[in-house]
A and B are shown apart, each in its own frame.
Chain A
Amino acid sequence: MENIQNLEKIASQVRRDLLRMIHAKKSGHPGGSLGVTELLVSLYFEIMEHNKDFKMDGINEDLFFLSIGHTSAAWYSVLARSGYFPISELASFRAINSRLQGHPATAEGLPGIRIASGSLGQGLSNACGAALAKKLNNDDKFVYCLLGDGEIQEGQVWEAAMFAQARKIDNLIAFIDYNKQQIDGTIEDVMNLKNLRQKWEAFNWIVLECNGNDFQELISTIKQAQKLSGKGQAIMILSKTEMGKGVDFMTGSHKWHGIPPSDEQLENALSQLEETLGDY
């Protein structure tokens, strides 16, 4: 395993990147992006077999689908820090004529992105299709997909859940970023999801749970999921996170879903996050 300390360093830099990106354009989604940082860093720096020389078909590579497209800033930082495109390009986030669109897109040809996301509820279906293509191609690599907990209020997610069990898609490992927050408030208040484990188990998925802000726990859970794959069932990891993780005044609140930090707030936030790999 890549040393956990090293992953922590990357995560700290990714958090700095995404906050600076969102602050610079006074637009973006810091809360969710901060919350999923450990997961994205784990996948790209520890778990996935992937090639920074990007090919759309991703044959013989592990693939990742970000269904919650609004956490793009975190993904872009991780992709750049993985070598998919120049780190300096992070400065073009959400700018005119940029490849780093507000929500991930393929139209501008940004390496690492295989399908657009942003309109919620669609990524799991896309991941199911990519997983089926892998089976047809005798490609034994995995497909990973990250959903939000609020996102699964979309009906299409449950269509995909049914489809995966009916078609026995067992090379798919999905995550729910389980931070219990959505734009209008707590999930409990807006549209209570009740027992997520039971819901996914009822759809015949294997369900695992972990602290999604803890590298050790996250990585061992994903490795456990890999061992459970290939037996006719898709796997769902309930990745319990805190929205806004890593910045004290943002942690645990839905209020930072879609607003940028002010100059002073950025300064405060960056003082809590070590610059480990050099800012872009």
Chain B
Amino acid sequence: MDQFLLQSCWWIPCYGLVGAVLTLPWSTGMVRRTGPRPAAYFNVLMTLVAFVHGMLAFQAVLGQEPKALILHWFKAADLDLSLALEISPVSLGAAQLVTGMSLLAQIFAIGYMEKDWALARFFALMGFFEAAMSGLALSDSLFLSYALLEMLTLSTYLLVGFWYAQPLVVTAARDAFLTKRVGDVLLLMGVVALANLAGSLNFPDLYEWSETAHLSPTVATLLGLALIAGPTGKCAQFPLHLWLDEAMEGPNPASILRNSVVVACGAYVLVKLQPILVLSPVASTVLVGLGTMTAIGASLVALAQIDIKRALAHSTSAYLGLVFIAVGTQWTNVAFYILFAHAIAKALLFMSTGAIIVTTSTQDITEMGGLWSRMPATTTAYLVGAAGLVGLLPLGGFWALREGINIYWYDSPWLVAILLLVNTLTAINLTRVFRLVFLGPPQMKTRRAPEVPWLMAVPLVSLSVTTLLVPLMLQQLYLLPDLDYINWVTVLLIALSGGIGCLIGANLRLSRVWVRPIQAPLKFVQDLLSYDFYVQRLYEVTVVWSVSTLSRLSAWFDRYVLDGFVNLVGFASILGGESLKYSISGQSQFYLLTILIGISVFGALLAFLTR
């Protein structure tokens, strides 16, 4: 039985895909009588099946050696593409996280999207999304991972662009696709180069190759940079980070997944690539550099956001920055800790956000207030999620940070400072959002705010409980340190940084009318942060400008120079004929003369050439 469960692991991604295909009759409008609900049920059911299958397989694989499952897909000439799957506790655990989150998000979505006419289409996309992500978790081949990352790009585009009639959504979907595509194309360059250098694209072969490979430093650096470009786009790291912020225009259930597991998928691929990245020291340095910049920058930017989803999305970028640092310093276990804790806590925060948005019909935190007494479950969820993210109470985020600080303590103390700083800034941000949304007097839009219906409340509460149980899960997997080995200084530092953050956040002067501070420097800083360091503007005047100028230039060249020349030749020949026709006089002497001149010129030319 166990063997069968493990051998059929490749079904797990297929369930989502089947669910997506099953919705087609509803999403194309062929079945109208039932309404779109059955499509949603099918998808939830398929995800449930995937979850159960994954759970049983996970139980079966615990304590076993990792195994590979290879499906030969395409073999032509010297190219052998096989779809290799890894069956190990880590990969199945990751798939489990994906299907679990997807299940909760989909149940949540039935409530959240209740009145949306395109419910079936939404669920088709969610099924597709889930399939790509759980495939990524299981994949043991760079080719398959690349292909699935592209699928994720596509489905992100479609999910962000779900409400395509709104202008902001249109640009958001476009930016999401193009930014990720930049990363993907660079990654493809790396993949193609690796296929030629290593001869195989399965991770075990690649690891083996990388141990003995001798590359010139330039090639190694370029390869490393190309390989990290893909995850950089996926994980919304500087300089490819803007899409995540804009993607918040999409439906909230998709945002739940996007901010927890989708970004984690990018990071997961990065972790998988880490043994190859070691070939290039520059790539590791760049990883740490990008991670540091994004972690601090995005934490600061988050402080100035007034859109509740955007405030949280920037903090996602920040935490993924920490993951990048961890991978860059070769500590992949720290990366896994942070990814796991962050995924669950952030998903819960976004679920709570979704509950708020659906009740108040706004995303602007300055328009909210006093929700704590009206929506107790949502408030609890937010608090639990925040506690799970910030290192203050001994929940997931705390243990993840502890692991990181423990490791960096002696080697690179400055990374400890960064971890603590990000922790403090996140705590400030979460406290600030909490005060604006839940405390204070109720406002126009929050006065009549009933708690969400059960379809949304059930996932909300169950995820809250899960978040609280994260330390227990870590305990079960023997990932928590013994009490004797705990360095109490680090524990104190983490709690202190989190506590200071909360205190600052609690005492920050917040104005709901959001009048700008009068002092000029403060205003400048505020604008700088709320406009994301003007990075978007920077792109407009650099990348976008140069591409559009080049394209206009080449179109102009094509139309006026190339085609102009062609038309000129045509015009000249017509003109020649038109003017020569006047030489037809009817006098044979004239014709003879013309022939004579022509032949003499030709003869002279021949004599000259053959001399």
Q: Do A and B bind each other?
A: no
A interface with B by C-beta (< 8 Å): none
